[in-house]
C-alpha cells in the first residue's frame, strides 16, 4: 500500500510539489517584509513632502450639496428613460411577439449598470445625512 502511494503517481507528486511551494512561499514572505522595513523611512519622507505640497496648493474644493443633487438628477433621468425603454421592449416581446430580445437585454444591462452607479453615488454622498 505504501509503495503504491510513493510509486510515482502524478497527483501525488503534484500535491507534494504544491505543498512544498506553499511552504517556501510562506517562509519567503516574512523575509521580504523584514527587508522593506528599512526603506519605510524614505517613503514616509517622500509622502510627507507630497502632502505639504498638496496642502500649499489646496486645489481641492468640496462639492456643494446642490452640485451633488444635480449629479444625482443627471444620473436619474437617463436611468428612468432606460427603465422605460427596457419595459417597453419587454412588453413588445411578451405581448406582441416582436423579436427584440437582444435590444431588451442590452437596455436591461445598461439600466442595471446605471442603477448601480446611481445607488453607489447616493450612498457614498448622502448616507451620513
pLDDT at position 13: 74
Question: Does pLDDT of 82 surpass 80?
Answer: yes
Reported as a single tens digit per residue, the pLDDT across 83-108 is 999 999 999 999 999 999 999 999 99
Cβ density class 25-50: b for 16+ within 10 Å, e for less: eeeeeeeeeeeeeeeeeeeeeeeeee
Say what the pLDDT of residue 108 is: 95
Of 85, 72, 129, nearest to 111 by C-alpha is 85
Give the residue extent of every domain in the chain: 2-57, 65-126
pLDDT for res 33: 57
Q: From the centroid of its chain, how far is CA 77?
A: 25
Q: Give me the pLDDT at residue 43, please.
A: 75
Neighbours of 116 (CB within 10 A): 10
| CA distance linking residue 6 with residue 16, whole number of Å | 11
In whole angstroms, what is the distance from residue 50 CA to residue 44 CA? 10
CA atoms within 13 A on the CB side of 71: 15
Could you report the per-residue pLDDT of 14-44, keeping only the tens digit for each?
A: 777 777 777 777 776 666 555 555 555 677 7
Q: Is the pLDDT of residue 9 over 50?
A: yes
Residue 125 burial (C-beta neighbours within 10 Å; 0-12, 13-18, 19+)? middle
* Amino acid 37: pLDDT: 53
Strands (DSSP E) contained in 1-65 are none
* pLDDT in the model for residue 29: 66
pTM of the model: 0.51
Angle between helices 101-126 and 65-94 (to 10 degrees): 160
Amino acid at each position: 500500500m505504501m509503495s503504491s502511494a510513493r510509486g510515482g503517481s502524478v497527483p501525488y507528486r503534484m500535491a507534494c510539489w504544491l505543498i512544498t511551494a506553499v511552504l517556501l512561499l510562506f517562509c519567503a514572505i516574512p523575509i521580504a517584509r523584514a527587508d522593506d522595513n528599512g526603506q519605510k523611512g524614505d517613503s514616509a519622507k517622500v509622502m510627507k513632502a507630497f502632502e505639504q505640497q498638496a496642502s500649499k496648493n489646496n486645489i481641492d474644493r468640496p462639492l456643494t450639496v446642490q452640485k451633488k443633487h444635480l449629479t444625482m438628477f443627471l444620473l436619474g433621468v437617463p436611468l428612468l428613460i432606460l427603465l422605460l425603454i427596457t419595459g417597453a421592449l419587454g412588453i413588445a416581446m411578451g405581448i406582441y411577439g416582436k423579436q427584440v430580445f437582444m435590444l431588451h437585454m442590452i437596455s436591461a444591462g445598461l439600466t442595471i449598470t446605471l442603477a448601480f452607479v446611481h445607488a453607489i453615488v447616493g450612498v457614498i454622498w448622502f448616507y451620513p445625512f
